Every structure is written in C-alpha cells, then in structure tokens.
Amino acid sequence: MTGESIPDPFAGHPDWALDPPRSIVPTPANMSGQLRGRRVIIGLPGHGWRSDLRADEKVVQGSRTYVPIIPESEWYRAESEQTEVFAPLVPIERVWVEEFGLAGSISLEQGIDVRLVSLDEPSRKTPIPAFAAGPLSGRRVVGLLDDGSERRDLRAVTEVHTNEVGDICARVSAELDWYRWAWSGKAPKTLEIPVHLLWVE
C-alpha cells in the first residue's frame, strides 16, 4: 500500500519567504502608557501566569497602584453591548502588557521544540507557522497580508484543510465574533486564509 504524499503548503507561493509576524514581548505594566483595552498577563514570578485578559486604566488607592483586569470574553461583551462588568484590581507589579517585538526569522522546528524559560517574568511568544502548530481551532492567529502587514485579533475556527479548489487553508474570524458566538450562539463570519500566510500567536 502506497502512502499519500503531504502537499507542500509553500508550493507555488513566492511570498512564502515573508517575514513572520512580530513576537509578543511581555512588558511590566508600570512601564506602559495607557492600559485601557490592552491585552495583559497577570501572575507572580516563580508561580505562574494567566493570559487572555484585558486591562482598564490604572487606579491609585492610597500609596498603591492597581490595574482593573477583565477576562477577554467579558471585555469584548462589555465593549460590544456597552455594559458594566466586574473587574478585580490587581497590583500593577503583577501585570505585564503584551507588546510587539521585532519580526525576524524563525525555525520551523520551534513549534515542537521544548524551550526552557525563566519564571521571573512571562515568556516571549514567538509566532509558529499554522501548518506546524498542531491543533488550530480556537487559537489566536495572525494573518499576513500581501504587503507583509499583520492582521491580528483573529481566532481560528477550523483546522488546516484543503478547500474546494485544492488550496491548503484555514478559516478564521474576528476575535469579537468568536466570543460573541459563545454568548449569543450566532455563528461568526469567517475568512479563508492560505496556510502559508497564517501563524499562531
């Protein structure tokens, strides 16, 4: 029995050599400016981290500064429906803002390598090509546009597949529509992105 060959996702695509999207570099919140709506990570060095959160503006109480933190799904719902949500106050020294680093080259093996990190701060997130990233549905993804710019705040809604004309691709939705799907049941509008232009954050 002969096995089928796996299609090369880059075959016939001259733009396969586009620079990957910029990495995510956690930066202490006390070193950032405006925080409202920014994607943040909270935690304790040596203990652990939690992401998929959004911040509101800093609050000063007495001699301490705090950041109101909202789960991302609630932040999107509050912004979309103009409602109030409960936001616990987290000491600013336990909050890191997701900033963008520089784009650069990436090894395709990085998606499967075990990387040791320091527990002193949240680790940098290097984008992984979608075809090498394992299961895709629900993950944060970045689409590269023809001019090399990035489209962010997307979620994958399918795995990598072959479409009706034989292209290898995945479907994505805007992150707001992804979360709205959960609270309203309304299926999101989706966009098909060729796999050679899709990366996992």
Query: Using CB atoms within 10 A of its CB, is residue 87 exposed (0-12), middle (13-18) or buried (19+)?
Result: buried
Helix axis angle for 175-184 and 72-81, nearest 10°, is 90
Q: Using the structure block, give the residue that is written with the tokens 């409960």.
A: 86
What pLDDT, on the 0 to 100 scale, is given for residue 107? 47
CA pair distance 130, 111, nearest whole angstrom: 9
d(CA 128, CA 142) in angstroms, rounded, equals 10
Determine the Cα–Cα distance for residues 102 and 39; give it in Å rounded to an integer. Answer: 18
pLDDT band for 114, please (50, 70, 90 cuts).
low
pLDDT at 7: 47
Residues 42-62: tens digit of each pLDDT: 999 999 999 999 999 999 999
How far apart, in whole angstroms, are the C-alpha atoms of residue 150 and residue 81? 27
Q: Which two tokens stand for residue 62?
A: 């007495």
Cα–Cα dist 82/32, whole Å: 26
Taking only the tens place, the pLDDT of each residue in 57-78 is 999 999 999 999 999 999 999 9
Structure-token pair, residue 50: 């939690």
pLDDT given at position 12: 52
Q: Give the global pTM.
A: 0.82
pLDDT score of 32:
83
Q: What number of other Cβ atoms are within 10 A of residue 136's Cβ? A: 22
Residues composing the chain: 201
Residue type, 166: G
